[in-house]
């Protein structure tokens, strides 16, 4: 019954944008209908997911699909776990869009955005509940293509078009890899069903091939470090709630695919866990380092997604190490950390993107160094952003701390009891956390504190209620998990049990190996301390000392003289000079009264700008000679057809017999 309800939710989501298409462009009813339909679908889906993850049970349903056998869909704890972010962010997005992307201001692309939003949610929910390779691919492609159209929402801008094409290429390479993966699966197991197979069905070579194909295909979607190149551009040029969806949920579909796939493969070799750990360490560290070098708020948040995917992979790597060496407590801690971070990241990253949307909307720029002092104009947004920032840095008392704590515990336990590969993870995770704090101090300090640096930033207004409500809801989720991790304990236990049930190993309860109650107590006492300090600082005696935030003894200070985000990050950027290779124009200031000068610096993406684009240009250069045949004249092309036709006709002609006849005596 809950499976049927989930399918109903998917249908509601897919249909949410349709009524708007039949209404006038100027009508605002379409967006309200879409928001209601999406909210209804999301609530239904969330209820189903909650009941399934807590109640267990694995109902399945069949859909006839003559070309590929019966398509099976089913709802188990793992699917339900991933349905939660899909429906939560999917349901909050259109509500946020009412204020952020209203139809009356975006008549040309608002309806398109809502249509593909609904399809995106439906596609992701379908792929999460499918138990059949073809149904999975169907959902995967619906997701990939609707995300493409969402990234290209503002297709009149060159930047959006370019980002969406890069995304399309990346996602189709991933899909091609998945075709290979499922074809190989069908070939070796004899069916498209995504069910665990016996120990001796697959040879070791096939097993490795399946693993690496899955890593490539799902890694491209998840944005693992060398494969992340589509991600910053796509996240930066999409509308903010789309970025929230992409970063918070679409990337997680890559993680879901990997997690689901690993549960199907029997007896994993120990190397897999180490490879996933290494990828996680690289993504985590480089993601945050590249984030520090960014000047664009949304690109910065996008690189933080790479970092968080790295943390999730660290957890998954620990779980894989535990599975291959038979340590159920490593599996429980690693998988719980990784999976909880999936939820957490989808909550706080969506929250951050929602806040970023409000800020960008108010300041009319995405450049961090052109904002400033936004906290005075938008106190709600500033508070929500602070919650998101504390959460993403993995600081108590919010949810990011809980999941990173599980990953730490798993890494330490593994490292101490023989898993040397995990030794790298602990310092990397610590460094990632420290750099993330530095990065968000930079962002929060520059964007929200101080004085406005531009006129537009000074004129910003607080976001409307429809935008604040989703932020508050997500912030509440972050706080709830952070303050009471006991609540998610059973969910994580059920999901881990589901993941291991396919593999046939025993499980350990999370509550027995991780101090969930202690985290709660610490979190509550820390919150009380912070609240106490704030009350103390807010006393009338202290608060009366009002004055400009930044003065520094100048007679006529302007907001533009403030310390910038770039100068704040300069030390760290220079420290990672070799990796970031920042470049730009740096003026020389000479004399006592130098003329006006401009400073400009930029950090290229490591893969897209330094490897893929030069390689693409090189290959294009090699094939330049072919332009000689492609002149654009129809007559030439018809002539090529004629030549081919004549050549084919000549193969029918018995030349040999004729020659023999002529030269015979």
Partner 1 sequence: MTNLLNTILVIVLMLNLFALGTSRIVSVIRTVAAQGALLSLLPLLLHEHLTLAAALTVVPTFALKGIIIPGMMIHALRDVKIKREVEPLIGLQPSVILGALATVFALLFADQLPLTDAHSGALIVPTAIATVLAGFILLTTRFKALTQVVGYLVLENGIFIFGMLLVEAMPLVVEMGVLLDLFVGIFVICIIVNQINQAFASMDTRRLVSLKE
Q: Which tokens go with 648? A: 């084919």
Euclidean distance between CA atoms 48 and 86, whole angstroms: 13
Euclidean distance between CA atoms 94 and 31, whole angstroms: 8
Chain CA centroid to CA 18, Å: 26
Nearer to partner 1, 626 or 653 (CB): 653
Among 534, 555, 652, 664, binds partner 1 (CB under 8 A): 652
Nearer to partner 1, 547 or 621 (CB): 621
Nearer to partner 1, 54 or 638 (CB): 638
Neighbours of 540 (CB within 10 A): 6
* Stretch of residues binding partner 1 (CB under 8 A), selected from 93-101, 359-367, 487-495, 636-644: 636-644
Nearer to partner 1, 589 or 652 (CB): 652
* Stretch of residues binding partner 1 (CB under 8 A), selected from 132-140, 162-170, 549-557, 635-643: 635-643
Nearer to partner 1, 533 or 638 (CB): 638
User: 411-443 burial by CB neighbour count: b if 16+ within 10 A, else e?
Assistant: bbbbbeeebebbebbbebbeebbebbbbbbebb
624 binds partner 1 (CB under 8 A): no
Among 653, 656, 661, 663, binds partner 1 (CB under 8 A): 653
Task: Give least dist CB 162 to partner 1, A.
Answer: 16
Euclidean distance between CA atoms 255 and 82, whole angstroms: 10
Expressed in percent and rounded to 5, the helix, strand and coil fractions of the chain are 75, 5, 25
621 binds partner 1 (CB under 8 A): no
645 binds partner 1 (CB under 8 A): yes
635 binds partner 1 (CB under 8 A): yes
Nearest to 467 by CA among 371, 573, 350: 350
561 binds partner 1 (CB under 8 A): no
Contact 256, 312 (CB under 8 A): no
Task: Give least dist CB 632 to partner 1, A.
Answer: 3
Neighbours of 634 (CB within 10 A): 8
Task: Give the CA radius of gyration of the chain.
Answer: 27
Euclidean distance between CA atoms 446 and 297, whole angstroms: 11
**Number of residues located near partner 1, criterion CB under 8 A:** 16
654 binds partner 1 (CB under 8 A): yes
- Alpha carbons within 13 angstroms on the beta-carbon side of residue 228 total 30
Extended beta strands in 487-536, E state: none
Among 599, 641, 659, 660, binds partner 1 (CB under 8 A): 641
* Stretch of residues binding partner 1 (CB under 8 A), selected from 28-36, 64-72, 608-616, 646-654: 646-654
Euclidean distance between CA atoms 245 and 356, whole angstroms: 13
530 binds partner 1 (CB under 8 A): no
Among 542, 589, 633, 664, binds partner 1 (CB under 8 A): 633
Binding mask 304-343 for partner 1 (x = CB under 8 A): ----------------------------------------
660 binds partner 1 (CB under 8 A): no
639 binds partner 1 (CB under 8 A): yes
Dihedral (C-alpha) 321, 323, 324, 328: value to the nearest 10 degrees? 90
642 binds partner 1 (CB under 8 A): yes
Task: Give least dist CB 638 to partner 1, A.
Answer: 4
Nearer to partner 1, 63 or 639 (CB): 639
Q: Where are the alpha helices (DSSP H) in 554-633?
A: 565-575, 577-580, 613-622
Euclidean distance between CA atoms 477 and 502, whole angstroms: 30
Which residues of this chain interact with partner 1, rule CB under 8 A? Answer: 630-636, 638-639, 641-642, 645, 649, 652-654
């Amino acid at each position: 019954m809950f499976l049927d309800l989930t399918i109903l939710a998917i249908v509601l989501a897919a249909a949410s944008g349709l009524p708007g298409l039949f209404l006038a462009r100027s009508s605002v009813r379409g967006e309200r209908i879409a928001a209601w339909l999406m909210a209804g679908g999301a609530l239904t889906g969330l209820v189903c997911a909650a009941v399934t993850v807590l109640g267990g049970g694995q109902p399945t349903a069949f859909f006839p699909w003559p070309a590929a056998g019966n398509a099976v869909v089913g709802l188990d704890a793992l699917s339900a776990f991933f349905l939660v972010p899909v429906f939560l962010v999917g349901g909050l997005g259109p509500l946020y869009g009412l204020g952020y992307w209203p139809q009356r201001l975006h008549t040309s692309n608002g309806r398109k955005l809502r249509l593909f939003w609904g399809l995106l949610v439906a596609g992701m929910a379908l792929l999460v509940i499918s138990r059949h390779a073809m149904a999975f691919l169907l959902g995967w492609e619906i997701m990939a293509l609707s995300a493409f159209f969402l990234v290209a929402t503002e297709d009149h801008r060159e930047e959006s078009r370019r980002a969406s094409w890069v995304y399309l290429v990346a996602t189709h390479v991933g899909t091609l890899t998945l075709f290979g993966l499922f074809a190989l699966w069908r070939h070796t197991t004899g069916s498209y069903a995504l069910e665990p197979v016996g120990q001796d069905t697959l040879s070791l070579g096939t097993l490795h091939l399946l693993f690496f194909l899955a890593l490539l295909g799902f890694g491209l979607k998840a944005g693992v470090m060398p494969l992340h190149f589509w991600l910053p551009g796509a996240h930066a040029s999409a509308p903010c709630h789309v970025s929230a969806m992409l970063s918070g949920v679409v990337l997680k579909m890559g993680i879901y695919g990997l997690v689901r796939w690993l549960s199907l493969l029997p007896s994993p070799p120990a190397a897999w866990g180490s490879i996933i750990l290494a990828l996680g360490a690289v993504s985590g560290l480089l993601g945050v380092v590249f984030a520090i070098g960014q000047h664009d708020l949304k690109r910065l948040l996008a690189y933080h997604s790479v970092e968080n995917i790295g943390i999730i992979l660290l957890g998954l790597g620990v779980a894989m190490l535990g599975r291959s060496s038979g340590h159920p407590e490593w599996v429980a801690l690693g998988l719980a950390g990784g999976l909880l971070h999936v939820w957490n990241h989808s909550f706080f990253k969506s929250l951050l993107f929602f806040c970023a949307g409000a800020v960008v909307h108010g300041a009319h720029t995405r450049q961090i160094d052109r904002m400033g002092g936004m906290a005075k104009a938008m106190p709600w947004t500033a508070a929500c952003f602070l919650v998101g920032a504390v959460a993403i840095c993995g600081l108590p008392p919010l949810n990011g701390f809980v999941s990173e704590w599980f990953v730490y515990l798993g890494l330490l336990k593994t490292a101490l009891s023989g898993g040397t590969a995990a030794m790298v993870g602990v310092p990397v995770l610590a460094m990632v956390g420290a750099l993330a704090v530095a990065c968000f101090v930079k962002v929060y300090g520059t964007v929200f504190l101080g004085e406005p640096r531009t006129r537009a930033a000074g004129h910003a207004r607080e976001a409307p209620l429809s935008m604040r409500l989703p932020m508050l809801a997500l912030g509440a989720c972050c706080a709830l998990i952070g303050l009471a991790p006991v609540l998610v304990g059973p969910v994580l236990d059920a999901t881990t049990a589901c993941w291991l049930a396919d593999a046939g190993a025993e499980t350990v309860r999370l509550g027995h190996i991780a101090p969930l109650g202690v985290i709660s107590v610490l979190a509550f006492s820390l919150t009380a301390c912070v609240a106490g300090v704030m009350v103390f600082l807010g006393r009338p005696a202290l608060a009366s000392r009002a004055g400009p935030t930044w003065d520094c003894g100048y007679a006529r200070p302007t907001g533009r003289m403030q310390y910038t985000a770039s100068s704040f990050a300069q030390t760290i950027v220079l420290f990672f000079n070799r990796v970031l290779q920042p470049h730009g124009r740096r003026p020389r200031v000479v004399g006592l009264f130098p003329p006006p000068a401009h400073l400009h610096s930029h950090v290229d993406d490591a893969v897209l700008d330094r490897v893929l684009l030069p390689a693409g240009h090189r290959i294009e250069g090699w094939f330049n000679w072919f332009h000689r045949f492609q002149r654009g004249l129809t007559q030439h092309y018809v002539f090529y057809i004629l030549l081919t036709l004549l050549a084919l006709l000549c193969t029918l002609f018995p030349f040999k017999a004729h020659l023999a006849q002529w030269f015979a005596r």
